[in-house]
A and B are shown apart, each in its own frame.
Chain A
Amino acid sequence: MSENLEHSFVTQLKENQNIIHKICRLYTDCEDSHKDLFQEVTIQLWKAFPKFRGDSKFSTWAYRVALNTAITLYRKNKRSLSTVEYEGRQHFIKDVEYNYEEEEQIKLMYKAVYQLNDIEKALVFMYLEDKDYREIAETLGISEVNARVKMNRIKGKLKKILNP
């Protein structure tokens, strides 16, 4: 029974692991911490898995646990304090039509997002993931209206960081 559970968990996690990677990318700033956080999220997901009944999708459920782990449970290590160098790893080679100006802007945006605090990052993360405000509000435990207001403020803050 427990082996079955383990197997089912591992398969589903493997399929959905990009969710965790994406959160690690926002909340950590070097490869070691990325791995650290990934592992902690995996442990937390596994601990919560027996209560997962499958009435929501595995991915939806995993979002919440992963975000909670990153914001609440994870203890940042000293070595992950600088956010600048890691950013170098963030741009991707997948783009075929290379648009220099756009690429520059995206880079600056990533840099700006790194300067936000943990809660703001969570909102941006869910926004980037195309979550609606109802889900954002529910995940964080705030009201929908306030989630909207906060997101607008974050946009303003990002603008300020980009054009000081």
Chain B
Amino acid sequence: MKELDLLKKDWQKNNDSFEQISEKEIYKMIHKQSSSIVKWILIISILEFSLGIILNIILSFTKVEEKNTEFIKGLGIYGYYQAFTIVLYAVIICFIIQFYLMYRTVATTDSTKLLMKNILKTRKTVQNYILFNLITLAAFFITITTFGLKSALLHKTLENGKHLVDISNTIYIISFLVIIAITAVVIGIIWLFYRLLYGILLRRLHANYKELKKIDL
């Protein structure tokens, strides 16, 4: 292509036409903070990882936690609850370790494709972490409220002196559906927020990665 060769000639001729940056300026630059995508993913991820843990610690200092424990004990599922908490923390720790190992593999000296792949994988780990959290949160919420609902209805019927059979199945089902609907909406909103957050951050990288993959098809 003739024009491209012309451009090449011009390009190479003008190799040194840039305003030169002094050593002093370079010294200054290397002490500044990076604002790269990877840096942002790291910061956001650390925030995400710490949010749940910090929230738990704060709650454990308040009466809410005590009341919760009492409530769960009252439902007779405290043993399950403890086991559940232990499993939850174990999984979270696994996620953090995995994230850390992946973050370490991100290197600008790799090929562009590999670098992008590693960044996307790192992000995927955090995304899975969030998904896991949301699902367990939903499961937890639904279980507790269902148990709570059942015992509340039971108390009510006993107070009224009526027999248990008097509560129709419809009430059970409607209450259960309402609980599920509320949970779905809340989880949906949180999920949407994450998609948006990472969507903005990684839109360009995704597009470029797709483009690179297309070349090798």
User: B7 at the A/B interface (Cβ < 8 Å)?
Assistant: yes
B36 to chain A, nearest CB (A): 4
Contact B112 A44, beta carbon cutoff 8 Å: no
Tell me which of B8-16, B177-185, B186-194 binds A: B8-16
A11: B residues at CB distance < 8 A: 23
In angstroms, Cα B66 to Cα A18, docked, is: 64
Total A-B residue pairs with C-beta atoms closer than 8 Å? Answer: 164
> How many positions in chain B have a CB within 8 Å of any CB in the partner chain?
51
The residue that B23 contacts in the complex, of A10, A106, A138, with Cβ under 8 A, is A10
Taken residue by residue from 62 to 106, chain A's Cβ proximity to chain B (1 for < 8 Å, 0 otherwise) reads as 001101110111111000000000000000101100000010011
- Cα A16 to Cα B107 in complex, Å, equals 21
Determine whether the beta carbon of B12 is less than 8 Å from that of A130.
yes
Known contacts A128-B7, A142-B113, A147-B215; is-contact A21 B18 (Cβ 8 Å): yes
- Chain B interface main SS type: helix
CB within 8 Å for A40 and B34 given contacts A17-B21, A18-B16: yes
**B residues 14-40 touching A (CB-CB < 8 Å):** 14-18, 20-23, 26-27, 29-30, 32-38, 40
Contact at B23–A73, with CB atoms within 8 Å? no
Q: Contact flags (1/0) for A10-51 with B, using CB distance below 8 Å? A: 110110011001100100000000000011101110111001
The answer to whether residues A128 and B8 also contact, given A17-B21, A72-B208, A158-B1 and a CB cut-off of 8 A, is: yes
In the bound complex, residues from chain A placing their C-beta under 8 Å from that of B10 are: 92, 106
Q: Pick the contact of B112: A17, A18, A25, A122 (CB < 8 A).
A: A122
A48-B108 contact in complex given A76-B204, A140-B212, A141-B212, C-beta closer than 8 Å: yes
Kindly identify which residue among A69, A73, A105, A139 contacts B111, using a CB–CB cutoff of 8 Å. A139
A side interface size, CB within 8 A: 67
B4 at the A interface (CB under 8 A): yes
Which one of B46-54, B114-122, B144-152, B156-164 contacts A?
Answer: B114-122
Given contacts A14-B26, A140-B212, A158-B4, contact A94 B14 (CB under 8 A): yes
**Are A162 and B205 interface neighbours, CB within 8 A?**
no
Beta-carbon contact of A102 and B216 below 8 Å: no
Given A14-B22, A48-B107, A129-B11: 14 more A-B contacts, CB < 8 Å: A10-B23, A14-B26, A21-B18, A22-B18, A64-B108, A75-B36, A75-B40, A75-B201, A94-B17, A106-B6, A118-B207, A119-B212, A141-B114, A158-B1
Q: Which 9 A-B pairs have CB atoms at the shortest separation, nearest pair first?
A: A141-B113, A141-B111, A73-B36, A21-B18, A46-B30, A109-B7, A119-B211, A128-B11, A42-B29
B: residues with CB less than 8 A from A are 1, 3-4, 6-8, 10-18, 20-23, 26-27, 29-30, 32-38, 40, 107-116, 119, 201, 204-205, 207-208, 211-212, 215-216
9 contacts across the A-B interface (CB closer than 8 A): A6-B27, A18-B15, A67-B112, A72-B119, A72-B205, A75-B204, A92-B10, A140-B215, A162-B3
